[in-house]
Amino acid sequence: MQKKRKKTSRPRKKAFKNNKKFKQFKRWQEAFFKRLGCLSFFIIIFAGLVLILFVRWISQPLPSIDQNEVSQSERILKEQFIVELVPTAQALQREFGVYASVSLAQAILESDFGRSQLASQHHNLYGIKTSADDPNSALYPTMEFFDGEWVEINDYFKVYPSWQASMREHALLMINGTSWDPNQYQAVLEAKDFQSQAQALQDSGYATDPTYGEKLIHMIEDWQLYQYDQP
């Protein structure tokens, strides 16, 4: 007679426990991915907002520069340069006879309102040259007009302690002339108005520019430098 096997409930309990753990894991997994999904959603939204703000920022036009303001500021600086030189120019006219307007116009034209390197660093307003053995000299490239065309050369220029010193030596050059011709600028001193004096500078060979006198006259008229001439 066969013996009946006793039924046991242990495997069921074990299976029940495993099933319960599995369900707990599933619930945890669902909650985790649900939270992860919400977090990803917010990250995507945030990134989208950042991207929109960035696109709007780079698409904004750059602040425009008011050319009128720039021109006005530049004109003020140029006027300040002129005003600084006026007292010396007038004093030199009374002493030597070089028109203040012509002296100022030359300083403006030669130094670009004191902004050239030669004028700003070495206080040479008039492009006055010197010899290589002069201890107060500086070597600079310069444009000269030869044989109908402009060419660049290197030459030595005087170094001055101040703009006023440069202006005085310029006036003395008109009086004393050059080492090879003491009367080179006699016609400049004999001129009776700024137009004649400006043209006499060109005719006397002060500059190689064939339109030098004309440029000086235009500069005097444009900036009304004649108002500073002494009676």
Specify the higher pLDDT residue, 34 or 218. 218
pLDDT band at 116 (very low <50, low <70, confident <90, very high): very high
pLDDT band at 193 (very low <50, low <70, confident <90, very high): very high
Please tell me whether residue 154 adopts helix, strand or coil conformation. Answer: strand
Distance CA 137, CA 122 (A): 9
Helices (H), the chain: 10-59, 67-96, 100-111, 117-122, 163-176, 186-190, 194-203, 212-222
Distance CA 87, CA 92 (A): 9
Indicate whether 3 pLDDT > 60: no
Question: How much is the mean pLDDT over the chain?
Answer: 86
Length of the chain, in residues: 231
What does the DSSP assignment read for 194-222? HHHHHHHHHHTTS-S-TTHHHHHHHHHHH
How much is the pLDDT for 222? 97
What does the DSSP assignment read for 85-110? HHHHHHHHHHHH---HHHHHHHHHHH
Distance CA 150, CA 51 (A): 56
Indicate whether 196 pLDDT > 60: yes
pLDDT band at 88 (very low <50, low <70, confident <90, very high): very high
Distance CA 96, CA 168 (A): 10
- CB count, 10 Å around CB of 134? 13
pLDDT band at 65 (very low <50, low <70, confident <90, very high): low
Indicate whether 48 pLDDT > 80: no
Helix axes 67-96, 163-176, angle to 10 degrees: 50
How much is the pLDDT for 14? 53
Indicate whether 40 pLDDT > 70: no
Contact at 8 Å (CB) between 118 and 157?
A: yes
- Say what the pTM is: 0.69
Contact at 8 Å (CB) between 103 and 167?
A: yes
How much is the pLDDT for 5? 52
Indicate whether 197 pLDDT > 80: yes
**Residue with the two structure tokens 């053995």:** 133
Single-letter code of the amino acid located at 226 = Y
